[in-house]
Amino acid sequence: MDHTIDIAVANVSKTFATAAGPVEALRDISFTVPPGGFVSLVGSSGSGKSTLLRALASLETPSAGTIELGGQPPLQRVRAHELGMAFQDSALLPWRTVERNIAFALQTAGLPKDPDYVRHLIELVGLRGFEKARPAQLSGGMRQRVSIARALVTRPQLLLLDEPFGALDELLREKLNMELQRIWMHEGITTVMVTHSVAEAVLLSDAIVVMSPRPGRVVDIIEVPFPRPRGTELLRSEEFFRLCATVSDSLRSAEPAA
C-alpha cells in the first residue's frame, strides 16, 4: 500500500451552541501533517484537542475553515475505511474476546473477516497468546493495545489517537510508546495523537502542535528533529530534556497570567 494521505487543517474554528450560550472551542487552527508523519496535539484540559481530533474524524463539523485528508473531506475517508481511531473513551466489548473485539471493527466497517490480518495485528501489538482472553482478564495497558489494534484493523492510512496511554504507569507507558513507534514505522500511517505527556509527545512526534486554553489556538508548532528509531537512551539524554522544556515553556506561556 502506498501511503500518500496528508492532513491539511486550515483556519478551523468551532463554536458549540449550548443552553448557557456559545462555547468557542477552537479558533483559527492551522497545521499540516505530511504523508506518513506523526504529529501530537498538546494543551491544557479544555483546549479543544478532542474537538479537533473529532473534526478530523468527521464527527464534528467546523464552524469555519477546512480540513482535507489527502485532498478530500474527512467524511469521504471515513466512508472508505481509511481512518482508524482510538478515542479517550473507546471501550472494548466486555463479552467478546480480544480476537473478536478486533474482528468486530471489520464487521462494523462492513468488511469481510480477515483472520490473518487480525492475527497479524495481535502480534503487532504484542498480545499473542491472549487471543481468547476477554477484556476483564487483561491489564489496562493490554486493553489499550487492543484498542489500537482495533483502530488498525481496516488498514487505515490515517490514525487518530486521543490520549491512548492516559491512565498508565510511567514504565508501561514508555513500553507502549516504543511499540506505537514500531507499529507506526512499520505501517507508515499518518498519525495525529492527543496527549498530556510532553515526554510522550517529544518521543513520538515529528512535530508538536501546542494549543492554548479555551478557545484553543495554535501557540507553537515545535519540530522534533531526533532520528528514528528513538530508544530509551534518547529519553535520558540532555537534548531530549531540553526539547521537553521548550514544549513545557510553550504550554506555560499559553496560560493566562495568574
Ligand X SMILES: Nc1ncnc2c1ncn2[C@@H]1O[C@H](COP(=O)(O)OP(=O)(O)OP(=O)(O)O)[C@@H](O)[C@H]1O
126 is a site residue for ligand X (CB under 6 A): no
- Binding pattern for the stretch 22-61 against Mg ion, x by CB under 5 A and - elsewhere: ----------------------------x-----------
Determine, following the binding rule CB under 6 A, whether residue 214 of this chain makes contact with ligand X: yes
For residue 21, state whether it binds ligand X (rule: CB under 6 A). Answer: no
182 vs 185: CA distance, rounded Å: 5
97 forms part of the interface with ligand X (CB under 6 A): no
User: What residue type is assigned to position 129 of the chain?
Assistant: G
Q: Which of 4, 11, 16, 228 binds ligand X (CB under 6 A)?
A: 16
Q: Is 241 helix (H, G, I), strand (E, B) or coil?
A: helix
Measured from the CB of residue 236, what is the shortest distance to ligand X in angstroms? 28
For 228, half-sphere exposure in the C-beta direction (CA atoms, 13 angstrom radius) is 16
What is the smallest separation between the CB atom of 20 and ligand X, expressed in angstroms? Answer: 9
Per CB under 6 A, the list member of 13, 40, 51, 190 interacting with ligand X is 51
**Type and span of the H or E element at 25:** strand 21-33
Partner whose binding site includes residue 95, from Mg ion, ligand X, none (CB under 5 to 8 Å by kind): none
SS3 249: helix
Of 45-53, 147-155, 182-190, 219-227, which part binds ligand X (CB under 6 A)? 45-53
Grid cell, residue 83, equals: 481512518
Q: Which does 46 bind (CB under 5 to 8 A by kind): ligand X, Mg ion, none?
A: ligand X
Coil/strand/helix, residue 143: helix
For cell 514505522, the residue is 185
Phi, psi angle pair for 119, to nearest 5° = -65, -45
Q: Are 6 and 72 in contact (CB under 8 A)?
A: no
Closest of 110, 109, 129 to residue 119, by C-alpha? 129
Q: Which does 81 bind (CB under 5 to 8 A by kind): Mg ion, ligand X, none?
A: none
Q: How far is CA 37 from CA 5, 40, 236, in A?
A: 10, 10, 24
49 lies in the site for ligand X, by CB under 6 A: yes
Q: Which is nearer to Mg ion, 36 or 62 (CB)?
A: 62
Q: How far is the CB of 141 from Mg ion (least distance, A)?
A: 20
Stretch in the footprint of ligand X (CB under 6 A) among 2-10, 38-46, 92-100, 179-187: 38-46
Residue 52, C-beta contacts closer than 8 angstroms, at least 6 positions apart = 9, 12, 14, 26, 29, 41, 211, 216
Compare residues 50 and 190 and give the one whose CB is closer to Mg ion: 50
Residues that bind ligand X (CB under 6 A): 16, 18, 23, 25, 43, 45-51, 214
Residues that bind Mg ion (CB under 5 A): 50
